[in-house]
């Protein structure tokens, strides 16, 4: 295989403005909004020369529904899980699991519910 298996992800939202504000404040990034009529997307930053996938916040009244217990679990990379988790509650989310070591070789993880009700995860090497 010449690349990582995951090529793109989409996070369902109920309120694009609220979700954009949440992820921008928690991850210290800028999300680019794109209105495609019934489909609204908020693209995460993408660096094509670096490994890993990018993705988008996405709103469509018929095809996307946030969930705190169903569906795929997305792990977002960050510098330090503990530092990023500290921002979750202030930004309108809820921490489900504090920073926990996966293993010495695989780093750390934490779980949270975002501003839209999605169960999400964080990963860092430190």
64-91 pLDDT tens trace: 999 999 888 999 999 999 999 999 999 9
Tell me the average pLDDT across 40-45. Answer: 96
* Percent of the chain with pLDDT strictly greater than 90: 85
Confidence of residue 2 (pLDDT cuts 50, 70, 90): low
SS3 readout for the chain: CCCCCCCEEEEECCCHHHHHHHHHHHHCCCCEEEEECCEEEEECCCCCCCCCCEEEEEECCCCCCCCCCCCCCCEEECCCHHHHHHHHCCCCCEEEEEEEEEECCCEEEEEEECCCCCEEEEEECC
Tell me the domains of the chain and their CATH numbers: 8-124 (3.10.180.10)
pTM: 0.88
Residues 6+ apart with CB under 8 A from 8: 53, 54, 55, 56
Tell me the average pLDDT across 99-111. Answer: 95
Confidence of residue 3 (pLDDT cuts 50, 70, 90): low
**Count of other CB atoms within 10 angstroms of residue 33:** 13
Tell me the average pLDDT across 5-33. Answer: 95
């Amino acid at each position: 295989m010449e690349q990582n298996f995951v090529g793109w992800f989409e996070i369902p939202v109920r309120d694009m403005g609220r979700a954009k504000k949440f992820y921008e404040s928690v991850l210290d990034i800028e999300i680019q909004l794109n209105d495609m009529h019934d489909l609204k997307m908020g693209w995460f930053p993408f660096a094509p020369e670096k490994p890993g996938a990018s993705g988008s916040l996405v709103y469509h009244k018929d095809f996307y529904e946030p969930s705190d217990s169903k569906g795929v679990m997305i792990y977002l990379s960050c510098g330090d899980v503990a530092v990023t988790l500290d921002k979750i509650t202030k930004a309108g989310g809820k921490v489900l699991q504090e920073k926990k070591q996966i293993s010495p070789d695989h780093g750390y993880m934490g779980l949270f519910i975002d501003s839209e009700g999605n169960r999400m995860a964080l990963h860092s090497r430190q």
